[in-house]
Amino acid sequence: MEIFKEMAKEGHEQIIFFQEKKTGLKSIVAIHNTVLGPGLGGCRMWPYKTEEEALKDAMRLSKGMTYKSAIAGEDFGGAKTVIWGDPETDKSEGLFRVLGRYINGLGGRYSTGTDVGTTYDDFVILNKETPYVGALPKEYGGSGDSSIPTAYGVYNGIKACCKYKYGSDSLEGKTVAIQGLGKVGYKLAKHLLEEGCKVYGTDIKEEYLERARQLGVDIVKTDEIYDIDCDIFSPNALGAVINDNTIERLKCDIVAGAANNVLAEPRHGEMLHQKGILYAPDYVINGGGLIQVADELGNETYSEERVMRKCEGIYNQLLKIFKLAEEKDIPTHAAADHIVEERIETIATIHRIK
DSSP letter assigned to residue 220: -
| Beta pairing class for 39-40 and 25-33 | unpaired
Query: Under 8 Å CB-to-CB from 254, ≥6 apart: which residues?
Result: 158, 161, 162, 165, 231, 232, 233, 277, 278, 279, 280
| Percent of the chain scoring above 70 in pLDDT | 100
Closest C-alpha to 216, from 198, 240, 233:
198
CATH of 3-63+76-140 given 3.40.250.10, 3.30.70.3270, 3.40.50.10860, 1.20.1050.10 = 3.40.50.10860
DSSP letter assigned to residue 206: H
Q: Characterize 52-86 residue by residue with b for buried, 16 or more Cβ atoms within 10 angstroms of its Cβ, and e for exposed.
A: eebbbbbbbbbbbbbbbbbbbebebbbbbbbbbbe
> pLDDT, tens digit, for every residue of 233-245?
999 998 899 999 9
DSSP letter assigned to residue 134: -
Our answer to whether residue 221 is catalytic in this structure is: no
Residue 193 in contact with residue 199, Cβ under 8 Å?
yes
Q: Give the residue range(s) of CATH 3.40.50.10860 domains in the chain.
A: 3-63+76-140
**Banded pLDDT at 272 (limits 50, 70, 90):** very high
The one-letter amino acid at 24? G
> pLDDT, tens digit, for every residue of 273-327?
999 999 999 999 999 999 999 999 999 999 999 999 999 999 999 999 999 999 9
Cβ atoms < 10 Å from Cβ of 330: 16
Binding residues for NAD(+) are: 180-185
Architecture of the 147-286+316-340 domain: 3-Layer(aba) Sandwich (3.40)
> pLDDT, tens digit, for every residue of 100-141?
999 999 999 999 999 889 999 999 999 999 999 998 999 999
Q: Give the residue range(s) of CATH 3.40.50.720 domains in the chain.
A: 147-286+316-340
Residue 33: the pLDDT is 98
Look at residue 62 and tell me whether its pLDDT is greater than 90.
yes
**Catalytic option among 63, 80, 159, 310:** 80
DSSP letter assigned to residue 142: S
**Banded pLDDT at 208 (limits 50, 70, 90):** very high
Whole-angstrom distance, CA of residue 258 vs CA of residue 261 = 10
Whole-angstrom distance, CA of residue 87 vs CA of residue 303 = 31
Residue 262: helix, strand or coil by DSSP?
A: coil
Look at residue 8 and tell me whether its pLDDT is greater than 90.
yes
| Beta pairing class for 232-235 and 175-179 | parallel
Look at residue 97 and tell me whether its pLDDT is greater than 90.
yes
Element housing 103 (H / E): helix 93-104
